[in-house]
């Protein structure tokens, strides 16, 4: 899909003016440090922004730069990550930090995607927010407002995604004008903010939308389909989360196997574990976490993190 300069200019102007007035003050905004952007984007991949806003400053205080994170043990990182969920992200983040601390930051999108845990979206986010590359960043929020504004069918994501990326790239390039890195970053934040607080999934605030005029979905937008997760209560995911939280809170991030069940009960998130504790599911959770390198057994003791020494960073 071709997007002309005439189409781009008014949309960009309206969105940027709205963002300047209405944006939320989130702790990861305003920085162009690639490490800080990487940390925030990995946290935001599968965790709501309000939860990340509480944990990101503490994580950055504990691991203020890429060398500090790369030099830490995975047990230390997992303990600090506890409560954010999807803990394999923390392991991938650590491995990405080791690569960057050793070899430096990649110089293009393809190379960024070679870092552990960095896919096409995260690479584009780092490129635009840290390096000022004028590339479109399409997360769930951006996808939603683009689909509605362009009048696309949300039920055919495979066909729509290519079009959405083309449009996002055209908007990011601003009709070919030369942009300062700060302008690129502001645009990326603005596009994500629009979908997060105005063009919401269930109750879009069309009256507050800066680009509502001419929008084919105005006043009648329904939810854009997304994949649904299964029930959390009693799930293997709930057991894994409780076990990781228990180990993160334990002295030296370790527990005797005999204490694991009681510690998990204490550290279960609200409604996560059923009243009838499933001992077999605990063992399955341990095996899965061992396979993923998130915990390891040391005799009759269970420890957070893989069975390995912290990475050594080349001087």
Q: How much is the CA Rg of the chain, to the nearest whole Å?
A: 22
Cβ atoms of 32 and 181 closer than 8 Å = yes
CATH number at residue 138: 1.10.340.30
Q: Kindly report the backbone phi and psi dihedral angles of residue 106, in degrees, each rounded to the nearest multiple of 5, phi listed first.
A: -60, 155
**pLDDT for 311:** 46
The domain in which residue 44 lies consists of: 5-208
Are 164 and 242 in the same domain?
A: no
Give the strands of the sheet with 254-256, arranged side by side. Answer: 254-256, 301-304, 295-298
Which residues lie below 8 Å from residue 303, measured CB to CB, with a gap of 6+?
A: 75, 247, 252, 253, 254, 295, 296, 297
- What residue has token string 């209405």? 22
pLDDT at 117: 93
Neighbours of 222 (CB within 10 A): 11
Q: What is the pLDDT of residue 91?
A: 92
pLDDT of residue 288: 82
State the Cα angle at 43 between 42 and 48, rounded to 5°: 130
pLDDT digits (tens, 9 = 90+) for 229-251: 556 666 777 887 788 778 877 87
Same domain, 280 and 187: no
The verdict on residue 188 lying in a domain is yes
CATH code of the domain in which 269 resides: 1.10.10
CB contact at 8 A, 37 and 123 = no
Nearest to 221 by CA among 209, 204, 197: 204
Assigned domain for 121 exists: yes
Is 291:270 a contact under the CB 8 Å cutoff? no
- Only one residue has tokens 């939603």, namely 144
DSSP labels, 215-249: -TTTTT--PPP-PPPPP-TTSHHHHHHHHHHHHHH
CA dihedral 156, 157, 161, 163 (to 10 degrees): 20
DSSP character at residue 269: P
Confidence (pTM): 0.76
- Tokens representing 33 are 């440090």
Q: Using alpha carbons only, what angle is made at residue 95 by residues 90 and 98, rounded to the nearest 5 degrees? A: 130
- For every residue of 152-186, which 3-state class applies, written as one string? CCCCCHHHHHHHHHHHHHHHHHHHHCCCCHHHHHH
249 and 293 share one domain: yes
Q: Measured between alpha carbons, how far is 267 from 249 in angstroms, rounded to an integer?
A: 9
Give, for 298, the enclosing helix (H) or strand (E). Answer: strand 295-298
Whether 67 maps to a domain, the answer reads yes
Residue-wise pLDDT tens digits, 83-93: 888 889 999 99
pLDDT at 94: 96
pLDDT along the chain (315 residues), means of 10: 60 94 94 97 92 96 98 92 88 96 96 95 96 94 90 66 86 77 93 95 93 87 54 72 80 81 71 64 82 80 70 44
Catalytic center residues: 41
As for how many domains the chain has, the answer is 2
Q: Are residues 178 and 250 in the same domain?
A: no
44 within some domain:
yes
Give, for 302, the enclosing helix (H) or strand (E): strand 301-304
């Amino acid at each position: 899909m071709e997007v002309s300069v005439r189409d781009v200019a008014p949309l960009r102007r309206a969105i940027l003016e709205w963002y300047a007035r209405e944006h939320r003050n989130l702790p990861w905004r305003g920085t162009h440090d690639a490490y800080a952007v990487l940390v925030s984007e990995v946290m935001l991949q599968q965790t709501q922004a309000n939860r990340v806003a509480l944990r990101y400053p503490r994580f950055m205080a504990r691991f203020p730069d890429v060398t500090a994170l790369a030099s830490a043990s995975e047990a230390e990182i997992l303990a600090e990550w506890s409560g954010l969920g999807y803990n394999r992200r923390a392991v991938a983040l650590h491995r990405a930090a080791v690569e960057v601390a050793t070899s430096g930051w990649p110089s293009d999108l393809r190379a960024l995607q070679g870092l552990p845990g960095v896919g096409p979206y995260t690479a584009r986010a780092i490129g635009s927010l840290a390096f000022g590359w004028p590339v479109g960043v399409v997360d769930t929020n951006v996808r939603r407002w683009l689909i509605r504004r362009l009048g696309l069918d949300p039920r055919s994501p495979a066909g729509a995604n290519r079009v959405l990326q083309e449009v996002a790239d055209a908007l990011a390039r601003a009709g070919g004008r030369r942009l300062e890195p700060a302008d690129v970053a502001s645009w990326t934040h603005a596009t994500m903010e629009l979908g997060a607080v105005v063009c919401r999934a269930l109750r879009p605030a069309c009256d507050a939308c800066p680009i509502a005029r001419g929008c084919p979905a105005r006043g009648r937008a329904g939810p854009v389909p997304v994949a649904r997760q299964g029930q959390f209560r009693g799930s293997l995911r709930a057991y894994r989360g409780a076990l990781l939280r228990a180990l993160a809170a334990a002295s030296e991030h370790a527990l005797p196997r005999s204490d694991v069940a009681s510690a998990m009960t204490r550290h279960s998130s609200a409604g996560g574990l059923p009243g009838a504790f499933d001992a077999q599911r605990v063992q399955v959770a341990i095996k899965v976490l061992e396979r993923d390198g998130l915990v390891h057994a040391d005799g009759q003791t269970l420890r957070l993190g893989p069975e390995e020494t912290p990475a050594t960073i080349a001087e």
